[in-house]
Chain A
Amino acid sequence: MPAADYLVALQQKTPREFDKLRALLDRAGEVGPQNIRNPEKVKTLGKGLFEFKSYQERLFWCYGSSQGQRRTVLLLDGVTKKRDKHRPSDLARAREVMRDMNE
């Protein structure tokens, strides 16, 4: 589900899970996502795609296009899942959005 829709839906359906994910984003903002050491929380998926993991909540992200040294973190797509392994369709969708954003 597109990131904004996913976050709004999560906040409305399970506010506690939303708050946990919010805490992870807050932490990423404080130290920079690349400096979060816990592989349970931030994972590299390859080819510029990453994910924030907060228990069953997964938020795909990538770095935005740069303007000099300015880059932002773009939240692409979100899914709720129990297993660690992603469905190929979820990954494909996230990569598609990432390509779209970086064109």
Chain B
Amino acid sequence: MNDMSNVELLRRAFDTPSTEFEAERLVLEASEVILAEMERTGVSRTDLARALGKSKGHVSQILSGQRNMTLRTLAEVAAALSFRIRLDIETASTRDSDQNLDEVLRGVTTDVDTSARSFRPNITAEFRDHHRDDATVVSMAQWLHRASNRSRPHLTTHHEPHATQDGQVVAVS
């Protein structure tokens, strides 16, 4: 397979709007929001299954994306964990694209969790394509760059727990 055509094919593929892509992205984001809240509150999958009146396998299937996560499912999980799901429209112009490459990559390479929640890739590095023997390795940087420069509307879920114990409302997205 020709590498240059691969590069062009991938660039095109990564830029192509797709319902499947948007659906999966939402599922991933929703499952991450749920897992984060479970981690924060010390709720296990077994606990959540019990609260939902379902099996642990059911919960695993929801979180893995194997079972279709409907809005009702999401609402049931949120109610069981005592938080609320909010949906926002996000467009390219509202996304934080000011971060430079250093900031982005610091988020990737360090264990500091503080930058992770505002992590918005704005990678401008050249496409990297290494071909050694029969192994082709491509850097993810290009794809992040392409992903961060979509101009079409972008839908995300936001997680906003109820007021914390000291009354402060903490939004996590």
Interface residues of A, Cβ cutoff 8 Å to B: 2-5, 7-8, 11, 15-16, 18-20, 22-38, 40-41, 54-55, 61, 63-64, 66, 69-77, 96-97, 100-101
- Residue of A18, A36, A71, A100 near B32 (CB, 8 A) is A36
- Residue of B10, B105, B121, B125 near A4 (CB, 8 A) is B10
How many A-B pairs have beta carbons closer than 8 Å: the answer is 165
Q: Contact between A38 and B135 (Cβ–Cβ < 8 Å)?
A: no
Q: Contact between A70 and B102 (Cβ–Cβ < 8 Å)?
A: yes
Task: Provide a sorted-by-A list of 15 A–B residue pairs whose CB atoms are within 8 angstroms.
Answer: A2-B137, A8-B10, A23-B21, A26-B25, A26-B147, A27-B28, A27-B29, A31-B107, A32-B107, A35-B107, A38-B63, A72-B140, A76-B137, A97-B135, A100-B135
Q: Please, which residue of chain A has its CB at the minimum distance from the CB of B18?
A: A19
Chain A neighbourhood of B107, CB < 8 A: 31-32, 35
Enumerate the 5 nearest inter-chain pairs by beta-carbon distance, A residue then B residue, closest first: A29-B144, A2-B136, A23-B24, A19-B20, A40-B64
Binds A, one of B69-77, B78-86, B112-120, B161-169: B112-120
Q: Contact between B106 and A69 (Cβ–Cβ < 8 Å)?
A: yes
Q: Would you list which residues of chain B between 110 and 133 have a CB under 8 Å from chain A?
A: 110-111, 113, 116-117, 119-121, 125, 128-130, 132-133
A8-B6 in contact given A31-B116, A55-B65, A71-B108 (Cβ < 8 Å): yes
